[in-house]
Structures are given as structure tokens and as C-alpha cells.
Amino acid sequence: YPHSAVLDGAGAYRLRWGRRGSALALRLEVRTRGYVGFGLSASGGMASADIVVGGVERGQPYLQDYFTDENRVLKKDPQQDYHLEYAMENSTHTILAFSRELHTCDTNDKSITESTVRVIWAYHHKDMGEAGKNYHGSNRGTKSLRLLNPERDEVSSASLPYFDLTNKDVPVPDKDTTYWCQMFKIPVQHEKHHVTKVEPLIQKGHENLVHHILLYQCSSNLNDSVLDYGHECYHPNMPDSFLTCETVIFAWAIGGEGFTYPPHVGLSIGTAADPLFVLMEVHYDNPSFTEGLIDNSGLRLIYTPVLRKYDAGVIEAGLWVSLFHNIPPGMPEFVSEGHCTLECLEEALGAERPAGIQVFAVLLHAHLAGRAIRMRHFHNGEEQKLLAYDDEFDFNFQEFQYLKEERTILPGDNLVTECHYSTVDRIRMTWGGLSTRNEMCLSYLLYYPRINLTRCASIPDIMEQLQFIGVKEIYRPVRTWPFIIKSPKQYKNLSFMDAMNKFKWSRSEGVSYNQLVLKLPVNVRCSKTDNAEWSIQGMTALPPEIERPYKTEPVICSSSSCLNCSLFLTLLCIVYITASTIGNTGPFV
């Protein structure tokens, strides 16, 4: 079982898992002598969930496949697809090991894919019993995981040096969204080293307050005076030195663990071309407007003098964050696309790396309305396999996905970040912006070897969006932001934001608007380090002709009857060890 996670805050419920061909093997280690429940849920709740319940009762192991309907009623699944391998119980813990095919052909089961999975768990101090009436009470919860994460070799970092970049007693304002910026100086200088791992240092109790942390490389021409104090980011009074920090070198988001670079790649520090001054941007999400919060969160960077073969880089791709990205209210499904255009990749890669770059991990990023994100890849106009995807996107669980196989990106390729949103519970427009109630559609690509390309994104044309709602003319020259509409009469002297909110959006209008937006010309963003730009920056390009919606690959599933055939050929090991036999050996961990 190469992967493990503690599912509850008290450490009473541990899950271990690993892939076995077309199946997933799981082991539950739970501090109880009663029943143990485990399930997969689209919402993170009990409704329409795929559930397995097991334990050891009077020396006999049991494991039962269940499902719940939309009313959360638990029902025995007529097709039993979870297969017990062994069960154990001691004086404190119950252990269950079982497996299930990733795709079972059972409509009551949830397919296991590379997307985020909302795992639900429960346990009780008594066994299910024949009536199954023992309710788990508060011993239950949910946790988002990726069960099909590729296995990776963890290199021990216990003896390696590290340095911490942490905020110092930052007073978090009692407002919805705060971006706090603090400048740091990399302590490792004069000799090249490689960062091999980055870990989040989130202050205890602030796990839901700190939404994401970005680390930017800043101009090397700064001096130590910029280190004196932090400041709110994107603020009119923000220090000018912050404006030199455009290149993302690392990204962490809520729910993510530490990130370990592959053995042949590292984040270079210590040379003239490497970051000396870095800006750490922390996004605080405080929707309850809690007062008096003081935060000291940040990042730990573990590094080594033993150099790896390649230097890592980061490219921010997708939709440039702006008001030109907008989503009508009341839409169960709305798709936005951000384009890393062939024009940008042709120029940047053609000049820096004609043989292409190798992408090894991707972080997909959206906010509260996000439901699914895909990173689509086109080569010579032909669509390749998805670079990364998450069809069950969870705002509270965003981390780098390691690619199973590194992907080569070549000059002239297209990358499309495709974001799916739901705004059924909103009555006003949703705008691209920094707040978690605003939206984003971004992909962060970790790749090697490092080149001088930091952002490859797009902005849709705003005037054609406004023509959809009947806008004919705006006041020019533009002196205010958002700009003001001149005609027609019903929108006169309104900002374009107010006009879009005034428009009476129906679902059919929203669908038509979505179809229009996806075909609009885009403004190309193609940035270098130190605020420099490739010549294609600001040019207009047409989005590629792509198939919509994306056609997912057909799933090959294994029916329960076929599984039962194979069971005759395998040994099902069911082990029951009494508490007296185990004695005081303690829990299984």
C-alpha cells in the first residue's frame, strides 16, 4: 500500500491504498472493535454514495457492499463488488483489507478515476448486527483524496538542510478575502543548490483560513530594505518592489500536502539566474469576518548541494484573471477556456527550446463555482491525451498532480485550460477576480528544463461579450475602470459590470452566451521573467478549432460475475486474531 492518509482529526481512522492493475486495494485501520464504514461520494455526503461496511463479529469477518439513494437510505447492493482479503481485530483496533475494480459496470458504484474523490468514513463501537441499526453518530466525516495518484519515490529529506519562509504575526483583516505579500531573501547564495521538496507550514487551527500560497521570483536588483515589512497585495499603496515579482516559482493550495520534485529535477537556487528576492503571497479566506486573527503560516524549502540533472520551471497558463472573464447567474453548466496559444509557444519555445519542454506535474486552479477542470493538449492541430484533469474538482483540495508520464510540449502546440462552473445558486454575474467568490481558470505547469516563459494565457474580447446584451457604444477615451456605457438608453452611464447584471439572464440566454464566448478572438499574454514580454504579447489570436464537449475515453469495466470467476483462482485470506492472542501489542499502525 504505497499511499496512506489519516481521515479524522484524532488519528483513529487510517486509510492505506494502492492500485493493482485494474483494481484498487484498500486497507482500513480503525480504533474500534465495532463496524467500519467506507465510501465514495460525489458530494461528500451520504446521498447517492457507494459504501462498504465491514468488521469482525464473534470471530467471523464480514464485508458488505451497500449504496444510498438520494434520500440517504442505505441499501444492500445486489452486485457485490468489494472483495474481502483479510480482517483482523485486537483489543483496540479493527483492520479490513479489501479490493474493488476501478470500473464495475454497476450503476450503484462510483467509478474510480484520476479525479478528486470525496471519501466518506464512519465507525461504531458495536458491530452492525443483523438489523444494522447502530448509527455511527459523530464518528464520521469526509476527506478529498486522489486515489489514483501515480506512485513516486520519496527520497528521505530528514538529513537535508532547509529554510522557512513564514509570515510573522500577520493581522488578518475581518473581511472576506485578503492577499498578504511579504518579501524574503533566499539565504542560500554564491553556490548552486537544488530545492528537492516544498512543505506547507500552516498555523494550527488556520487550515481553512489559508487558501493558497504563491511564491514569486522578484527582480535581482532589489536591496535588503524591501524585507522590512509585509503589505496587502494588489493595494494602491503596495510597495513598488512588489511589482517586480511576476514569475511564479511555486504554488500551494488548500488541502495539498508537500511537493517532492522528481529525482532528476530540482528548483535551482544560489546562482545569478536564480531567485534571490522572492515574494510570498498568502490568500486568506475569511468568509465569517472573524476578528483578531494572527497568522504565521508559510513554506519550508528543503534543499541539497547534490545537483540534479535539470532545473525546474513553472508556467502559469489559462485565463488571465480579469473582469473580461465572466459567468452568468443561474447556470448549472458554463464552460470557460484559457488559451496558451500556439503563437506564444511557437515564439518562446522556438527561441529557447526548439526540442520542447517536459511537463511532470500540473496544479489546476479555480474558485467556489468550479466543478471540473481539464488541461487539453493539441499538437499540429491534433488533440493528444489530456495533460491533466479533475472532473470532481473540490475548491478545498487543490494540489499538484504528478503526471504518470512526462509530456513533451513543442513549439506550435496549443494548451487549453477548460473550466466548468455551476452558478445555479447565484443571482448576479460571477466575475474573474481574486476573491473566492470571484472565479479563476488557471493551470500551473511544472516542467524542465527552465526557459524564459512564465505566463502563457489569454483574455477574451470584452466588446463582443457586451454586444450580446445589446451594448452599442462606450465612452471613449476610457478614463474609468470598469468603463462606462454610452448607448443604448437602458444601459447609459452604467458600468459594463452593472449592465451585465441588469440583463435578464435565462438559461437559454446563458447557453447562447457561452457558445459565443468560446469562439471569440483572444488577447495573447506571453510573459518573461522581470516583467519582460515576448513580442506576441497583446496580439489577437483565434482559439483553435476544437471538439466541444471533450469526448472522454471509453471506460472498460469488469462485471461482478467476471470477478467471481477469477476468485476461484485466487486465495482469499481471512484472518481473525483474538484479543487474547495479540495481547498488549497495541494498535495496528
Indicate which residue of 35, 66, 123, 179 is catalytic.
179
By the 8 A CB rule, do 523 and 461 touch?
A: yes
Q: What's the pLDDT score for residue 388? A: 95
Q: What's the pLDDT score for residue 559? A: 55
Q: What's the pLDDT score for residue 354? A: 97
Condensed to tens digits (0 to 9), the pLDDT of residues 502-550 reads 999 999 999 999 999 999 999 999 999 877 899 999 999 999 988 888 8
Long-range CB pairs of 511-516, under 8 A, 24+ apart, other chains included: 512/468, 513/328, 513/465, 513/468, 514/331, 514/334, 514/335, 516/464, 516/465, 516/468
By the 8 A CB rule, do 47 and 68 touch?
A: yes
Q: What's the pLDDT score for residue 195? A: 95
The 3-state DSSP class for residue 304 equals: strand
> Cell 472573524, residue?
290
Q: What's the pLDDT score for residue 548? A: 86
CA distance 211 to 253: 6
The 3-state DSSP class for residue 316 equals: strand
Q: What's the pLDDT score for residue 48? A: 93
| Local structure of residue 75 (DSSP, 8 states) | E
Q: What's the pLDDT score for residue 552? A: 81
Which string of DSSP letters, residue by residue, matches 441-488?
Answer: -EEEEEEES--S--EEEEEE-HHHHHHHTT--EE-SS--SSS-BEEES
Indicate which residue of 136, 212, 325, 365 is catalytic.
365
Residue 93 among the catalytic residues: no
Q: Which residues of 121-158 are buried (b: 16+ CB within 10 A; e: fewer)?
A: bbbbeebbeeeeeeebeebbebbbbbbbbeeeeeeebe
Neighbours of 565 (CB within 10 A): 10
Which string of DSSP letters, residue by residue, matches 364-390?
Answer: EE--TTEEEEEEEEEETTEE-S-SEEE
Per-residue model confidence as pLDDT tens for the chain (589 residues): 888 888 887 889 999 999 999 999 999 999 999 999 999 998 888 999 999 999 999 999 999 999 999 999 999 999 999 999 999 999 999 999 999 999 998 999 999 999 999 999 999 999 886 445 566 677 899 999 999 976 665 666 678 999 999 999 999 999 988 999 999 999 987 899 999 999 999 999 998 899 889 998 898 888 898 887 799 998 888 888 888 887 888 888 887 788 899 999 999 999 988 889 999 999 998 888 999 999 999 999 999 999 999 999 999 999 999 999 999 999 999 999 999 999 999 999 999 999 999 999 999 999 999 999 999 999 999 999 999 999 999 988 888 899 999 999 999 899 999 999 999 999 999 999 988 889 999 999 999 999 999 999 999 988 999 999 999 999 998 888 899 999 999 999 999 999 999 999 999 999 999 999 999 999 999 999 877 899 999 999 999 988 888 888 777 777 544 444 344 333 333 333 333 333 333 332 2
Angle (nearest 5°) at CA 154 between 111 and 355: 80
Q: What's the pLDDT score for residue 153? A: 56
Q: What's the pLDDT score for residue 221? A: 85
What are the distances in angstroms from CA 87 to CA 29, 261, 290, 574, 586?
10, 36, 46, 6, 16
CA distance 519 to 342: 16
SS3 of the chain: helix, strand, coil, percent, to 5:
10, 40, 50
Which of 160, 214, 215 minimizes the C-alpha distance to 186?
A: 215
Residue 190 among the catalytic residues: no
CA distance 428 to 410: 41
Does the reported pTM lie above 0.75?
yes
CA distance 167 to 180: 9
Host H or E run for residue 347: helix 342-352
In order of start, what are the domains of the chain with their CATH numbers?
3-145 (2.60.40.1210), 162-460 (2.60.120.230), 462-519 (no CATH)
